[in-house]
Structure 1
Amino acid sequence: MRSRTAIDRLIARREVDLREKTLWRILYETCARAEELLQLNIEDLDLAGRCARVKSKGAKPRTRRRGAAHHGHVLETVYWDAGTARLLPPADPRPHPRPGIRHPSPPRTGKYLVDRDLCPDTGLARLSYDQARDLLDAATATDGPGTGWDLHELRHSGLTHLGESGASLFELMAKSRHRKAENLRRYFKLSPQAMRELASFIGPGASRTH
């Protein structure tokens, strides 16, 4: 888990490209999985509402009423805050089917790409998970390649900080979209102040109900 200060300092670094800053910040604020966010295009983002609908891990295909499989998948909504909003482009009513949250990367040799993964303006390809992982590692490594942060740490840190701030277990489940509560217990940590307030509920001065 990384501290809020460490994450803020990383994203504030001037030598880091805006594309990476945006990805890292939105990973932290949405507590979404990197694979989910890397599949988004600019037009998939509700910039005014600060949210986007993603195909989540293990998402099942939609089914018609008669049981026939549909090509789409059930989508879930993730939300970000002002830190991400400041890095994203301003809302534009014109459609821009460009892959990736910000500027796409060069195509990967030998990788089969569909039209959705290519920018119609530049021909550049969507940032892959491996590329995103390597960029974060390179920016945070302290002792050579492989010693830096992992993409999942941003999701983990976001959930941990929410838990420390007093978010309930149900709120953490809604934010992370975990299906089982036991997978979130490690994030469910109350701050010392929250623990003091909790203890006051049963202290001598607490009101009694019968």
Structure 2
Amino acid sequence: MAIDRLIARREVGLREKTLYRMLYETAARSEEILGLNIEDLDLAGRRARVKAKGARTKSRRRGQARDDFVLETVYWDVGTARLLPRLLKGRTRGPVFLTHRRPGPGKVISPRDVCPNTGLARLSYGQARAVLDEHTALGGPGTGWDLHEFRHSSLTHLGEAGASLLMLMAKSRHKKPENLRRYFKPSPEAIAEVTSLLAPGDSRR
């Protein structure tokens, strides 16, 4: 509910609304979503390919491009699907999330990090974090939410809804189950249901 209230606020811009909703629905790392380009999106399938943390390279040659890494898929739902087309405004190339200014003179930026239509640069983690802090701080600068909290909240809510440990691993793309056990919270009803499988004469055994 707190996330919904944040996204519904009028002073929160469309860029931030889309970013916050996408971070929550994908349960992806903020660097992965901020690193997305429009070419990476499958809008119809509500998914995208991201370069994940610790991504393995396909080769050991120097100067690998993004396509030289093994990419992983993240998925979103209707909330993000409604906002993305409004944010993109018909753009077909370049970073999904842009700053509001062009890069300063003399600043060297990769062509992948600049919108070919507007000349605006990719929104950085630091910039996105500062805006989120501005929207959520209660005790002065630096006391607001962290971008990672959207991923944490997403997995917590999925765990509370009864998602299995394997499903949480698939959604979050964690490699080790122990990193997700804190989110795995089966309800009393779910435990009772699985216990019923041990009843005498159960036909499924």
TM range (shorter): 0.7 to 0.9
Q: CA RMSD in A?
A: 2.3
Q: Deviations over 1:92-121 (max 9, x none)?
A: 9x87212124x4432465753111111112
Q: Deviations over 1:135-167 (max 9, x none)?
A: 111111111111111000000000010011111
CA distance in 2, matches of 1:108, 1:128: 12
Segments of 5+ residues of structure 2 without an aligned counterpart are none
Partner of 2:57: 61
Please say if residues 136 and 151 of structure 1, whose CA atoms lie closer than 8 Å, have aligned partners that are also in contact: yes
1:114 aligns with 2:132: no
1:132 aligns with 2:128: yes
Amino acid in the other structure paired with 1:175: K
Partner of 1:81: 77
CA distance in 2, matches of 1:149, 1:134: 10
- In structure 2, relative to structure 1, the CA distance for the partners of 1:13 and 1:74 (3 Å cut) is same
Greater relative CO (CA pairs within 8 A, separation 6+)? 1
CA distance in 2, matches of 1:114, 1:105: 18
- In structure 2, relative to structure 1, the CA distance for the partners of 1:49 and 1:201 (3 Å cut) is same
| Partner SS for 1:61 | coil
Question: Out of 170, 185, 197, which is 2:166 matched to?
Answer: 170
CA distance in 2, matches of 1:148, 1:31: 19
CA distance in 2, matches of 1:113, 1:181: 38
Amino acid in the other structure paired with 1:98: G
Please say if residues 105 and 126 of structure 1, whose CA atoms lie closer than 8 Å, have aligned partners that are also in contact: no
Question: Out of 28, 35, 60, which is 1:32 matched to?
Answer: 28
- Aligned positions, number: 197
Please say if residues 104 and 125 of structure 1, whose CA atoms lie closer than 8 Å, have aligned partners that are also in contact: yes
Partner of 2:201: 208
CA distance in 2, matches of 1:142, 1:95: 36
Please say if residues 91 and 117 of structure 2, whose CA atoms lie closer than 8 Å, have aligned partners that are also in contact: no
1:42 aligns with 2:38: yes
CA distance in 1, matches of 2:99, 2:143: 25
CA distance in 1, matches of 2:39, 2:122: 14
Task: Report percent identity of matched pairs.
Answer: 64
Residue 199 of structure 1 and its aligned partner are, at CA, apart by 4.9
- In structure 2, relative to structure 1, the CA distance for the partners of 1:23 and 1:114 (3 Å cut) is same
Residue 42 of structure 1 and its aligned partner are, at CA, apart by 1.8
The TM-score with structure 2 as length reference comes to: 0.86
| Partner SS for 1:53 | strand
Residue 14 of structure 1 and its aligned partner are, at CA, apart by 1.5
Residue 197 of structure 1 and its aligned partner are, at CA, apart by 3.5
CA distance in 1, matches of 2:193, 2:121: 51
Structure whose residues are more often helix by fraction: 2
Residue 124 of structure 1 and its aligned partner are, at CA, apart by 1.1
CA distance in 2, matches of 1:95, 1:164: 38
CA distance in 2, matches of 1:107, 1:128: 13
- In structure 2, relative to structure 1, the CA distance for the partners of 1:99 and 1:190 (3 Å cut) is same
Please say if residues 104 and 119 of structure 1, whose CA atoms lie closer than 8 Å, have aligned partners that are also in contact: no
Amino acid in the other structure paired with 1:168: S
